[in-house]
Every structure is written in C-alpha cells, then in structure tokens.
Chain A
C-alpha cells in the first residue's frame, strides 16, 4: 500500500495553516510543508513548534523555489538550523548559486528533478552533474516533471534506475505545458504506470495537484492508481 499525502502549497498556495486545516479531516500519513515563496519561509519555520503534525508519519519541507544570491546563505542556515533533522528538505537545483551552502545537509537535502522550463536538473545526465557536487544528497522524484520532459517515460526510467538508492520521496501531479501542476489526467496515469514498478512501496508520495478541497480524496485515489505498476499482458 502506498503512503500518500499532499503538499501544503498545492492545497492552499501560500497558506500552510489553511492547508493543514483542510487536511485535518483526512487520513493521509504524509505531508510536505511548502515555503515556495521566500516570504513564506520565516512564518512557516516560526510556526513549526506550534503545529499539530502528530497524524503524519512522514513530513518533508519544500525550500523556496526562488531566492537571490545574497539570500542564499540565510535560507540555507535557516533550513539547516530550524527544520527538524529527520525531515527531508526538497530543493530545486536551479535555485542554488553556491553549493558550499548545501553540502553540509548531506542526505537531508532532496534534489528535485525539474520541468522543461529549467536549464538544469531535468534529465538523469543533468541530475548526475548535481550529485557529483552533492554526493550525499537524496532525490525527490517529480514524476510529472519527468513526463513533461519526456512523455515516453524513458527519462523517468533512467532517473529511477540510476538514482534508486537516493530516492526519498515522489512528487506526483499532471504538469501541463505551462508547467503548472494540474489534477492527474488519464493520459498522465497511463504514463506514470509505465515506471511505477521502479518506485518501491515504502517511498512517500506527495501529491502536488492543485485541486479543490472536495477533490482531494479522488485525487489521492488517482495518484495511487497511477503508481500501480502495469503488468505485462
């Protein structure tokens, strides 16, 4: 059985309290707290000691997706010191200016594969260049990004095959041509199933689909179906 949950940013963009309130009545075991905008970082970190997260057996933290070079050291210090040590910190590799700020995180840092707008981190080859510099880093595999980069799922296959030991969590959603995270379509489900067998059952699944509250249960079912391997027939 897959362990699934949502990203707070997908449920309520920029409003982690609202997202947690929405998710309160669900029984998801996994959660990603998201501070995609740098302005969200301080409030979210300040609130961490006061949040009731006891329902979750797995929690990760998504670092801001954009910050300046001058802000980088501050962001890294903040994440390193104030986010619980057993939470993976998901980061977009294109946000990194200087790797020296991030090497100390070791396996806590989960590099996310990127969508096709980004200049790096999209393919297995490009990810390898990042892991060469951050050899202990983990992988947050965004299956929607991988499909957007290559609908044949060959790149997804290569990423999952080459970095299986680094895999710490999966992001799932439909990533459209404008690189927005939509609900998982039938086409995306068929594509995701092609490589689902390469994702072990224990790996936490974080849903990033931007859906309304009422759609949350159905989207979770779709995510589980999409990660059910197709068998040869």
Chain B
C-alpha cells in the first residue's frame, strides 16, 4: 500500500480503518491458504473476489470464492467445490450470496470466449470483471494467472482501435466498455434486487453501490487509462503501439491489477498534489465507509451499523441516523470523484470526459 500511505502522509490524514482492513484481509488470506492448501493445482485455482481481494475485509464480510478450472475437465471437480464449501463452513467463514455467482465451479472457457453476445450471462460478466479487477488466488495461482493473461489477450488483441485507430489517446475501448457495462449492470441489478428482495439489504447494497462498486469502476477505468498515461509523451506512445505489442500491454496491465483497487487509485492520483483537498476527501470518505462496516459497537437496537444497514427496511431509511451517516459518506466520496475526474484541467479528467461518458 505504498502510494496510499504516501497520500495519507502528504494530506495529513489518518486512514486507520483502511490500515486495519488491510491487516484483517492479510490474516484471513493466510487462514484460507492454510485451510484450502490441498484444493488447488496447476489446472485449478481457488479465486477469491470482493472485500478480501480489495484488502477491505471486515468481520461481517463474505468470502466470495470460485474454483477456477483451466485444464482437462474432471468429474471430481464438482466434489472439490462442495468440499471447499464444507471447509469454509467448518472454519466459520460467511459463504457467498444466494445468486449462485460464487461458491461454485467456473470454467475458463466461458470467461474467455463469452464476452458479449447472448451467451455472456450476467453471472459470467460478473465473474469475468471481478476476476480482472479484484481477485486473488488462494493456493496455487497457475490457473488464475493463465486465465487473467488470456482474458486480457482477448480484450487487447481484438481492439483494432487501440493499435490502428487515428485517435492519439491509447485507451483499450473493448476492455473499458466491458468495465463500464459492468458498472451499469451493477446499478441496474441494484434496482432488480430491490424488487426481488423486499425483505431487506437495501441500504447496505445501496451504500456498497455508491462506495466499493463505484471504486471498482473507477479503478477499472484508471487501469485502462494507464495504457495511455504511462508514457512521457506522444512520440514514445506512438513508437510503443506501432508494433502491436499485445503481450507487453498485458504484462503492464497485470502489474497494475496486481494491486488492490485503493492502491491503483492512490497511484493514479500521486502526481496531482494540487488536488490534495479532494484526494483527502475521497480517501477519508472511503476510510469512514470501511470503518462503518467494521464497527462492532452495538446500537440501541442491538445491531452493529453493518447489521443495521442490512436489516433496515427501505421505508425506514428517512430520518435514520445510520442511513444518514452512510449517505453523507457516499456524497463526499461522489463529490471528491467529481472534483478529480470531471475536470478538463487534468489528463485523468480529460480521458474521463472523453471515454467515460460517450
């Protein structure tokens, strides 16, 4: 978390909750690695996405895992997935949500070959984008690494505009559009879940959408922008792209994506000293969001803040102090993002306006 720590010092901030979540995430990862030691091999990786991969794990977080298969299909693989679930239950880990997107087998074939079109289901898109933007391997990473490289290969190799387009901006649109699409899909699914799950969870989902889901989109966007911004000048950029060095770009993107989203964001903002007030506002809001989810203090109703957000009915949110606190945090986060990215005064802002809207 090098860049984040630099920004914390530079802006005179105290992002204690982010530091605590990083430590918790690391501890959880070690525990999972020990518990699931025997379940991965050269052809299968246990992939965890979500808060643990983002290094934002808090005591109420789910362990969103999949058993990623990238090799010969074996009938026993299904049993492996069931056994992983049992192991996680035995060590008291909260299992993935009810949609069935995680906690199961996933084939690399679907992830790599079904991008767009009828066969690209909501679950497939979710798994693919989260694998790219916020995933870690528990145990052997061979399959995880291969699938990430092959996924990026598809996005990049087929992006004619990146290699041969007349636009001087070098942003991989195929990848960027898929990340953007997923962001909108999450927003639409929020409305879908509001309808299909009237029993609760509205406020927690809403807060996550405004914070961690938005962060995911932001870092996906910044990762794509890195293809353009990492060059000193246009000459160096043109020189690099003229030979279509797909593998070199994959390597660079893998290097960026090997860091958690907050670090990607921090690294992108390091150069913008004149925006330090907005940078402080952004990360402070996120720190408070993580702190809210981690807070185990009981409210008068006997719930933690997280439980309160999860259980409060949608019609009770008006005037609720916890709901109001969550809303305030998310508004400060939104405003800071606007100050940093919706401006023509910076390269990041220019690219956001060029690519992020139309």
Contact = CB atoms under 8 A, between A and B. Distances in A.
Interface of A: 116-117, 149-158, 161, 177, 194-195, 197, 232
B248 to A, nearest CB: 6
A230 to B, nearest CB: 8
Interface residues of B, number: 21
Nearest to B153: A152
Given A116-B142, A232-B163, A232-B164, A152 B244 contact: no
A128 to B, nearest CB: 15
A157 B72 contact: no
B150 to A, nearest CB: 5
User: Which secondary structure dominates chain B's binding surface?
Assistant: helix
B42 interface: yes
B242 interface: yes
A30 B71 CA distance: 34
Contacts of B145: 150
B157 to A, nearest CB: 9
A154 B72 contact: no
User: Which secondary structure dominates chain A's binding surface?
Assistant: helix
B247 A194 contact: yes
A229 to B, nearest CB: 9
A150 B243 CA distance: 21
List the 5 closest A-B pairs by CB distance, nearest first: A157-B247, A152-B153, A152-B149, A232-B244, A154-B247
A66 to B, nearest CB: 19
Nearest to B254: A154
Contact of B247 (A117, A149, A153, A232): A153
Contact of B150 (A116, A151, A161): A151
A169 to B, nearest CB: 21
Nearest to A195: B247
Nearest to B143: A116
17 contacts: A116-B42, A149-B142, A149-B146, A151-B146, A151-B150, A152-B152, A152-B246, A152-B250, A153-B153, A155-B149, A156-B247, A158-B251, A177-B72, A194-B246, A197-B243, A232-B164, A232-B242
A157 B254 CA distance: 14
Given A117-B42, A150-B145, A232 B150 contact: no
A212 to B, nearest CB: 27
B61 to A, nearest CB: 31
A144 B142 CA distance: 17
Contacts of A177: 71-72
Contact of B243 (A116, A151, A155, A232): A232
A216 to B, nearest CB: 30
Interface string B139-179: 00010011001101100000000011000000000000000
Contacts of B254: 154
B149 A150 contact: yes
A226 B280 CA distance: 53
Nearest to B249: A154
Contacts of A154: 149, 153, 247, 250-251, 254
